[in-house]
A and B are shown apart, each in its own frame.
Chain A
Amino acid sequence: MSQVVVYRPDSQMRNPLKLFSEMWRDLLASRELAWQLTRRDISAKYRQSFLGILWAFLPALITAIGFSFAKGSGVVNIGNTDLPYPAYIMFSMALWQTFVEAINAPVQAVATAKSMLSRINFPREALILAKLGEIGFNFGIKLIFIVALFLVFQIPVTWSVFLAPVALIHLIALGTFLGLLLAPIGALYQDISMGLTLVTGLWLFITPVVYPVPQGGVFGQIVQLNPVTPLLVTVRELATTGVVSNPTGFWIASAIALVGLAFAWIVYRLGMPFVVERISS
């Protein structure tokens, strides 16, 4: 019980081994708290809502209906997809939404927990884990809907569907990496959360969500350079055809996501004391 903790002004980066072991320790220690927080947040959210879990897939549904109409009436010219269009767009939207949730999660988590952060020293990792739990829960709800959709449109799946969660985790990791990196600054400056809405709105247009992967052209190149593209497309492919069209791109994007996540974790962890210092003095 008499564990000694020393608080010093020196940067923790000067002793990386100690830092890493503390990060690992806190990650383990925060599991239970994260679980409690996830439960608290989810039940509080749905207790104050009439439509409840419908909200998990309602946005995807509305977008899908809108675009299906637009495509059907020829207002927008979207190439042919390998899945029936309503199913394609709804599945893609669900994935995209999950990615956006992952970006916003850390910034939101820090913003809502401000008063807690400035008064209690609990493992800061718990806030992020709790949000990831919530994202997982939301995706679970969406999954029920997606399964129903696959049944309705009789979309064939292969055994590779069991690999899809791995790619999905990489997609969430990419979102969390970006969100975590912005969270400390986002707690200080409102610009971050306002800018995020703007950027994710634009980002959707350079990601093959409502249209299939474009081939060639400047636009096609931009879409290809977008790290979300290979991850999102691979999840979609693994869940349906089982043929991964761009494995190299997938692994590069995954590496960015996972290495970035580890880096962002350090930024978040080291940045939080300074955030706490500034938001409540």
Chain B
Amino acid sequence: MTVINQVSTSISSTQSEVILSVDGLSKKFCRDLKQSLLYGVQDMASELIGAKRKGSTLRPKEFWALQDVSFQLRRGEALGLVGKNGSGKSTLLRIISGLIKPDIGQVEVRGRVAPLIALGAGFNPVLTGRENIYANMSILGLTRQEIENCFDRVLDFAEISDAIDAPVQSYSSGMAARLGFACAIHTEPDILLIDEVLAVGDLKFRAKCYRRLAELKSRGVAFVLVSHSSNSILSKCETAMYLSKGKLIMSGDAAVVTRRYENDLFLEGAPPATGELQRQQRSVHESPGLDVTGVSFRDRRGHKVTVPISGEKAELCIQCKVRHRIADTNMVVSIRERVGEGDKILVLSTLHDKTPFSVSAGANEIRVEFPYLGLKPGSYLLDLHIYQGSYTLLDSVQEFSFAVEGLGSMSECAFYQPRRWNAVQLVSQTD
């Protein structure tokens, strides 16, 4: 996997000031608890006696949580961070906010960093909303005077004015989350670290959060936004970084990076999907007269492909050898996702469609044409049954494995919807 660095396309980036600069950052962690605690004590001791830490070598049972990550963030810029769980995103944010020390490399921060990681940190359930606003915002680094100045705005934003003097434990989870978000977002930061917290509250509140973020951004606040959802990265960030197992896989234009991430995500975990099947014809006394010898895909130009593309024209081709002509042949194709519950997501049948076909003696190819392949990018298993009439099974293929790739962003889409966008001016009919 190579690191592809693309020149940021944002115009302002060359002019404005760098406020966060991460340089060759590495961090190691240990998954064994006992060992990890012991290393903690060791590290503390060597910090105290001022010894040089051997940051570059892994001790037993350690792994790199982050490895040689570098990037820069400028005022008013928004950087998306994508990657699976455990890819090092949160570790990166925690080093940036100064919670933990790097093992190699350095981080340079100019100005106040506000983590939107810790909504409602320090909330005490017994105390009222008002008291908790004061405590929470002081923890986030505001003085009493500053809190008093923005108190009304926080209250207004959280929409809990009538419950402000009730203990926080009587709040609904949504209310508490809104209060936490409102506190965090009113701390006037220079850099905002957002770790998948925007999923709080209802749709209306979320929209308000995004408006507030946009407002902050236009005032020059820089963001680092961590998300699993490519859509929220795409709508808020110009540039993105893709981390996997602590390594920076790719950085640059958000659309390019998220597409790469999605393709990797959808295809991962499956054994290499074959997308093509070849098999031998059975002997005469084994075969009921029809033998499937191959399964494959063709793209819109009719070329054989192993990975069909979501949203494009595709053909599923089944090659078979037939001993004698069969007039009413039926075929049932069922497809399920390799991951998840294993429920069928697509069942196509000539029995349902009432379109039986006939095959002649010799080699045949049965083609199922998909004008737009509706399957989203991912990894699938296909089962195939061919019947004579409705009941006599001629041949079947079990668990034919294949993958679908995407060209555009399809996160949060369950299937490909062919579409055309138009804007039509309506001629007014009045007078």
Contacts and interface: CB of A to CB of B under 8 A. Distances in A.
Nearest to B122: A116
Contact of B48 (A3, A270, A278): A270
Max count, chain B CB within 10 A of own CB: residue among A47, A271, A278: A278
A222 to B, nearest CB: 31
Interface in B117-158: 117-118, 121-122, 124, 126-127, 131-132, 134-135, 138-141, 143-144
Contacts of A8: 101-102, 106
B97 A11 contact: no
A173 to B, nearest CB: 21
A215 interface: no
A12 B47 contact: yes
B100 interface: yes
A118 interface: yes
A36 B134 contact: yes
B139 A278 contact: no
Given A9-B104, A270-B47, A281 B29 contact: yes
Interface in B79-111: 91, 94-95, 97-111
Nearest to A45: B126
A13 B50 contact: yes
A2 interface: yes
Contact of A5 (B65, B91, B108, B134): B108
B107 A7 contact: yes
Interface stretch (B36-44, B198-206, B368-376): B36-44
A275 B121 contact: no
A276 B101 CA distance: 10
Nearest to A121: B98
Given A270-B47, A274-B43, A119 B141 contact: no
Nearest to B75: A2
A36 B138 contact: yes
B139 A3 contact: no
A152 B190 CA distance: 60
A40 B49 contact: no
Nearest to A46: B126
B144 A32 contact: yes
B279 interface: no
A113 to B, nearest CB: 8
A37 interface: yes
Nearest to B22: A7
Contacts of B117: 119
A3 B19 CA distance: 10
B126 A5 contact: no
B40 A278 contact: yes
A8 B22 CA distance: 11
A278 to B, nearest CB: 4
A232 B19 CA distance: 52
A188 B127 contact: no
A51 to B, nearest CB: 16
A118 B50 contact: no
Contact of A9 (B19, B53, B110, B143): B53
B311 interface: no
A267 B48 contact: yes
A202 B105 CA distance: 48
A198 interface: no
Interface in A257-281: 266-267, 270-271, 273-278, 281
Contacts of B52: 10-11
B44 A270 contact: yes
A6 B107 contact: yes
B46 interface: yes
A184 B49 CA distance: 16
Interface in A19-35: 32-33
B46 A9 contact: no
Interface in A36-78: 36-37, 39-40, 43-44, 47-48
A278 B34 CA distance: 10
Given A13-B47, A188-B37, A122 B109 contact: no
A4 B110 contact: yes
A32 B138 contact: yes
B17 to A, nearest CB: 8
B208 interface: no
A4 B41 CA distance: 29
B176 to A, nearest CB: 14
B44 A6 contact: no
Nearest to A2: B110
Given A8-B102, A188-B37, A188-B40, A3 B111 contact: yes
B252 to A, nearest CB: 25
Contacts of B17: 2
Among A39, A48, A273, residue most surrounded by chain B Cβ atoms (within 10 Å): A273
B378 interface: no
Contacts of B308: none
B139 A188 contact: no
Contacts of B19: 2
A1 B139 contact: no
B115 interface: yes
Nearest to B144: A32
A116 B118 contact: yes
Contact of B41 (A7, A40, A119, A185): A185
Given A120-B139, A188-B37, A281-B29, A7 B98 contact: yes
A122 B139 contact: yes
14 contacts: A5-B110, A7-B101, A10-B52, A37-B122, A39-B131, A40-B131, A44-B124, A118-B99, A120-B121, A188-B40, A270-B44, A274-B40, A274-B101, A277-B29
Interface of B: 17, 19, 29-30, 36-37, 39-41, 43-44, 46-53, 55, 65, 91, 94-95, 97-113, 115, 117-118, 121-122, 124, 126-127, 131-132, 134-135, 138-141, 143-144, 190
Given A121-B115, A188-B37, 11 more contacts: A5-B109, A7-B106, A9-B103, A33-B138, A40-B122, A47-B126, A116-B139, A118-B99, A119-B117, A271-B48, A278-B36
Q: Which 5 A-B pairs have the closest CB atoms?
A: A119-B118, A13-B50, A278-B40, A36-B138, A277-B100
